[in-house]
A and B are shown apart, each in its own frame.
Chain A
Amino acid sequence: MSQFQKKVDVVRTELVARDVFRLTLMAPEIVAAARPGQFVMVQIAENKDPLLRRPFSIHQASSEGLLQILFKVVGRGTELLAQCRVGEQVSLLGPLGHGFIMGDPGKACLVGGGMGIAPMFFLAHRFIEQSSSAGPRVMPRVILGARNREELEPLVIDFQSLGVEVLAATDDGSLGHHGLVTDVLKKLNLEPESTVYTCGPRPMMAAIHHLCKKENIACQVSVETTMACGMGACLGCAVPMKGGGYRHACSDGPVFASGELLWSL
């Protein structure tokens, strides 16, 4: 068994910023199997409306069996999910998909934009655990971007609590660099053996892909698509590939080497 369908307890709900919520769920089986970049499908309602589960990348998976998802209210499903209260239960399916392929923490650069920051936290955490178990702590580089300080600051503080230095970028300049995460990434002048791990809006990931390609740096992207099942059955989550044809975000991804994907849509 590597995937589970479980009714789990909601143990904490947080309003992180306006319309941004974090749910903490007690899901030991899923947590034990989870890897950064994987996701869970959350059932929103038991009464068939909304019918389908919603996919969320795993934001954090703790050794105590706690699993977190971070999401912004963008529609009816997330609106209902944001109304979840401590003590209630939700049905989780996961862990699903293939996560990031983790290399040397000292050569890792994590770039998260908006809600794409969610899986980056789990990844940063695992990188730090991995390096501290292998000797002196080596921290990955982290670049986080969002619209403004209100959205970004609480998440920056979370990363800082792990001990990592965060380079911030906001659209309005209210925190860190005034502009795109790509500007910040460019200025870092990463060495060629680096790997960039990224998740965020498609234009951001496309820009990062093109930058990495030019600099000859490996880049792994976590993509987001609509999907019905999350486990390779519905084939709804088609991702166009560079060489033609499609692969599936849920079972082949959601993480892909950026060079495999078709970016010029």
Chain B
Amino acid sequence: MESVKVRKDEVDLRVAIGSLELQNPVMTASGTFGYAREFEDFVNLRRLGAIVVKGISLAPRAGNPPPRVVETACGMLNAIGLENVGVERFIREKMPYLSALGVPVIVNILGDSLAEYSQIAERLASVPGVGALEVNISCPNVKKGGVAFGTDPQMAAAVTAAVKQSCQVPVIVKLSPNVTDITVVAKAVEEAGADAVSLINTLIGMAIDLGSRRPLLANIIGGLSGPAIKPVALRMVYQVARAVTIPIIGIGGIATAEDAMEFMLAGASAVQVGTANFVNPRASEDVLEGISAYVRQQKLESVRDLIGALRVG
């Protein structure tokens, strides 16, 4: 907590994710914040703890046919299909704007093979402004690689090790909730060298239109996100916090500061605001302001006092 200074009149919101020090624990979740510029009219981007951008692959991906999104009770299903501009265009067209913000940029990366993960990590690690990589091993939408890497502890460890060997920046592994015991995968990636884990990614779900007797997503199944998944996400963060010693980034239905701080009590060092960005483009900054107000009001020395401070028993 040395490199980021806190002014006297401000509350101490700094947190650390491995060697990456953040001015506060509020990030944006990959795939819900575009490449950040889309939100510049609504959010003071420089205030965020970190910006996690849309998942990037080596080559551009067109994504799935529509319909790609459908609303469900207190949530939504998506099957975007990892549409992205590819790593070269990302570095050329998106990074200059992002790096000028002065906030760590966490690039979510995805691949179909270990070699692809290594290649993309190597390419991004030397780009100025890239503060960390978040390895997407859990996206349920692409048939080839995602599911296998995220649900098999050995494959998850292998991807983690491959990415670690290819870059110097902190490596965060984003875990899939679509497993029997998430702590097994969490421990496997910790052992393989992960600097942190982020969880949860979307839960695989489905919606059907009775009238037409057809699925509501062209991809048939998709990832569930939003307030509906928050209890599941909280439970998994709590379990993983007791299984690993590396920092945890909590994700899943966070729309308010209260939601965010519940994740911190369960053991998260930082949080990501996801689907809430779609409804309230200012959600990330609202969460940040709410946490700041709480820390001040409760006269906490630092927001870090909340991490894992759940009272049990």
Contact = CB atoms under 8 A, between A and B. Distances in A.
Interface of A: 1-5, 43, 48-53, 93, 225-229, 231-240, 244-246, 251
Given A225-B67, A226-B69, A234 B41 contact: no
A232 B35 CA distance: 9
A234 B78 contact: yes
Contacts of A2: 41
B290 interface: no
A245 B75 CA distance: 27
Contact of A48 (B33, B255, B282): B255
Contact of B279 (A4, A51, A237, A240): A51
B75 A51 contact: yes
Nearest to B62: A245
B64 A52 contact: no
Contacts of B33: 233
Given A228-B69, A235-B68, A236-B80, A49 B74 contact: yes
Contacts of A48: 74, 226-227, 255
Nearest to A50: B71
B42 interface: yes
Contacts, number: 100
Contacts of B277: 229, 233
Instruction: Name, among B32, B38, B39, the residue most crowded by chain A CB atoms within 10 Å (CB to CB).
Output: B38
Given A235-B83, A237-B69, 14 more contacts: A48-B74, A48-B227, A51-B227, A51-B279, A52-B279, A226-B68, A228-B76, A228-B278, A233-B33, A236-B80, A237-B68, A238-B66, A238-B68, A238-B83
Question: Chain A's interface: helix, strand, loop or mixed, by majority?
Answer: loop
Contacts of B69: 226-228, 234, 236-237
Interface in B211-239: 226-227
Contacts of A226: 66-70
B205 interface: no
Contacts of A251: 38
A150 B278 CA distance: 37
Nearest to A93: B281
B278 A1 contact: no
Contacts of B64: 238
A42 B115 CA distance: 45
A98 B91 CA distance: 26
B102 interface: no
B11 to A, nearest CB: 26
A2 B37 CA distance: 13
B168 interface: no
B63 interface: yes
Contacts of A245: 62
A227 B66 CA distance: 10
Contacts of B80: 234-236
A240 B281 CA distance: 26
8 contacts: A1-B41, A48-B227, A228-B275, A228-B278, A235-B54, A237-B68, A238-B66, A246-B66
Contacts of B75: 51
A93 B62 CA distance: 27
B42 A43 contact: no
B276 to A, nearest CB: 9
B245 interface: no
Nearest to A238: B66
Given A5-B281, A51-B279, A236-B68, A228 B38 contact: no
A226 B38 CA distance: 19
